[in-house]
Amino acid sequence: MNDVFKQGERPTPDKANSRSRAFYLEVLLLLAGFAFVSVVIFQLFGSAYNLSVDATRTENALTSARNVAETFSASQDDASFEAALAGLPGFADVMREGSRVTLKTDTGLFVGVNLSAKPQSAGMMRSASITVFSGDTGEGEPLYSLESEAYESGRGVVA
């Protein structure tokens, strides 16, 4: 089966069919390769875009957590902390159930704050554990967590 033709020789129908099949097989392989490379490139672009969206969401979560922490630091007690959060732009649905304060942000995030207090020799060390979740409920993926502490004088158990 020699497919090399001498000059002036016309290929027989069998040889021509064989060449044609080889050509189509080559084209098929080329298309498959191109499709594979295209899929990989599409996936790379998609991953890059998802990373960018995640970065923006994390940035928003960080800003929200920082604002909540600063508000906690400036507040005198848990009640004033809740009231200050309710008055801040960008925050909504501020609710307090016992030692947990929750709120929603205008960037579509949910913030949960667990408050605790530890009596000191003079005053009280208040702590806030701030966690920002994706989505508008506390069941989303935790995006960012921050611990904050503030000392409150004059309201503690004197040892």
Partner 1 sequence: MATRVSDKASSLFMLALFAVIVMLSLILVVFGSNVYRAIEQGRTADNVARAGTAYIISRVESVDAADALSRRAGPEGDMLILAENVSGQTYETRLYLSDGELCEEYALAGAPVDTENATAIVASDVFDFSYSRGLLTVTTSSGTQCVALQTSQGGAGL
Residues found near partner 1 in the complex (CB under 8 A): 20, 27, 31, 34, 38, 41-42, 45-46, 48-49, 52-53, 55-56, 59, 63, 66-67, 70-71, 73-76, 80, 84, 87-90
We find the least distance from the C-beta atom of residue 103 to partner 1, in angstroms, to be 13
What's the closest the beta carbon of residue 7 comes to partner 1, in angstroms? 20
Strands 142-152 and 124-134: antiparallel
Q: Where do the DSSP E strands lie in the chain?
A: 91-97, 100-105, 109-119, 124-134, 142-152
| Identity of the residue, 147 or 157, whose beta carbon is nearer to partner 1 in the bound complex | 147
Question: What is the nearest approach in angstroms of partner 1 to the Cβ of residue 2?
Answer: 22
**CB of 99 closer than 8 Å to CB of 115:** yes
In 3D, which of 116, 105, 115, 89 has the Cα closest to residue 138?
105
The alpha carbons of the chain give a radius of gyration, in whole angstroms, of 33
Residue number, 73 or 127, with CB nearest to partner 1: 73
CB of 102 to partner 1, least distance (A): 18
Nearer to partner 1, 55 or 157 (CB): 55
Q: Would you call 4 exposed, middle or buried from its count of C-beta atoms within 10 A (0-12, 13-18, 19+)?
A: exposed
